[in-house]
């Protein structure tokens, strides 16, 4: 496993230096973006969604269309400003997804987010917000630093049984990672955001703890760019200005 490297700069006060590190590494961690109260409000809103009320805890696609708390999170000025820097122009929202990841939920197989979205290189990125502390045993993310530089990578089909608590497209295939890139596990604390380049290979570990691992994923694209809507996700641009 590779020694984990992260930028020492923040988009709050050194955006140019933070951007240079993001372009080199393919990710950026920003702490204290959401307060404890905001994380708790989002978790509560997750449990108020129709699926959760019916004891269905697979990741909920597009909660921003159901509850304004999620739309407000997607529109958080710091996220919109940072994403606009990362995608090289005014960012539009594209997708939200709320992850419950109850104990024993399987991880998300290795993938590049842009595999699903089919946008041009460098104009699409994700904000993965930990609503509870996350670490390798608790569904923590796996990343391959600098793998975004490889562009579109091939995948191999997987033949796993479905896990009712995981996204139905999470384990269909996995990215074949070139041997020069190394796996890193990351621990992202509550309220922090992992910004992910659309071509960075990443996935997640299973949740082996007895606590739920709540995460809110928002994805963004440069407003003028094309993307694939997707049969399951049904992505549509959300204007943020």
Ligand X SMILES: O=C(O)CCC(=O)C(=O)O
Residue closer to ligand X, measured from CB, 9 or 58: 58
**List 94, 153, 194, 215, residue binding ligand X (CB under 6 A):** 215
**List 202, 216, 220, 238, residue binding ligand X (CB under 6 A):** 202
In the shown chain, the binding pattern of residues 83 to 102 toward ligand X, with x for contact by CB under 6 A and - for none, equals --------------x-x---
In whole angstroms, the minimum distance from the beta carbon of 24 to ligand X comes to 21
Does the footprint of ligand X cover residue 190 (CB under 6 A)? no
Q: What are phi and psi of 21, to 5 degrees?
A: -70, -40
In whole angstroms, the minimum distance from the beta carbon of 16 to ligand X comes to 27
**List 108, 181, 220, 227, residue binding ligand X (CB under 6 A):** 108
Residue closer to ligand X, measured from CB, 9 or 139: 139
**Quick one: how far is CA 185 from the chain centroid?**
15
CA distance 62 to 96: 5
The residue nearest ligand X at its CB is 204
In whole angstroms, the minimum distance from the beta carbon of 229 to ligand X comes to 16
Residue closer to ligand X, measured from CB, 84 or 175: 175
In whole angstroms, the minimum distance from the beta carbon of 135 to ligand X comes to 13
**List 109, 204, 225, 235, residue binding ligand X (CB under 6 A):** 204
In whole angstroms, the minimum distance from the beta carbon of 50 to ligand X comes to 21
Residue closer to ligand X, measured from CB, 82 or 114: 114
Please give, one letter per residue, the 3-state secondary structure of the chain. Answer: CCCCCCCCCCCCCCHHHHHHHHHHHCEEEECCCCCHHHHHHHHHHHHHCHHHHCCCCCCEECHHHCCHHHHHHHCCHHHHHHHHHHCCCCEEEEEEEEECCCCCCCCCCCECCHHHHCCCCCCEEEEEEECCCECCCECCEEECCCHHHHCCCCEEECCCCCCCCCCCCCCCEEECCCCCCCCEEECECCCCEEEEECCCCEEECCECCCCCCCEEEEEEEECCCCCCCCCCCCCCCECCC
Interior angle at CA 68, CA 33 and CA 13, nearest 5: 20
In whole angstroms, the minimum distance from the beta carbon of 13 to ligand X comes to 28
Does the footprint of ligand X cover residue 139 (CB under 6 A)? yes
Q: Which residues bind ligand X (CB under 6 A)?
A: 97, 99, 108, 113, 139, 202, 204, 215, 217
């Amino acid at each position: 496993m590779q020694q984990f490297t992260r930028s020492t700069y923040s988009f709050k006060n050194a955006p140019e230096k933070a951007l240079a590190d993001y372009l080199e590494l393919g990710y950026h961690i920003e702490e204290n973006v959401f307060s404890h109260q905001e994380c708790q409000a989002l978790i509560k809103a997750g449990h108020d969604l129709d699926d959760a009320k019916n004891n269905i805890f697979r990741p909920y696609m597009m909660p921003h269309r159901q509850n304004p708390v999620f739309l407000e999170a997607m529109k958080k000025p710091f996220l919109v400003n940072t994403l606009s820097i990362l995608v090289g122009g005014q960012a539009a929202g594209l997708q939200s997804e709320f992850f419950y990841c109850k104990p024993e939920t399987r991880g998300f197989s290795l993938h590049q987010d842009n595999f699903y979205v089919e946008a041009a290189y460098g104009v699409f990125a994700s904000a993965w917000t930990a609503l509870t502390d996350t670490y390798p045993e608790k569904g923590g993310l796996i990343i391959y630093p600098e793998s975004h530089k490889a562009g579109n990578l091939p995948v191999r089909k997987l033949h796993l049984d479905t896990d009712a608590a995981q996204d139905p497209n999470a384990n269909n295939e996995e990215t074949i990672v070139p041997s020069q890139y190394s796996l890193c596990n990351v621990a992202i604390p509550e309220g922090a955001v992992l910004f992910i380049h659309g071509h960075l290979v990443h996935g997640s570990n299973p949740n082996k703890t007895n606590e739920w691992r709540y995460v809110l994923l928002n994805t963004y694209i440069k407003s003028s760019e094309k993307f694939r809507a997707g049969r399951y996700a049904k992505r549509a641009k959300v204007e943020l200005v």
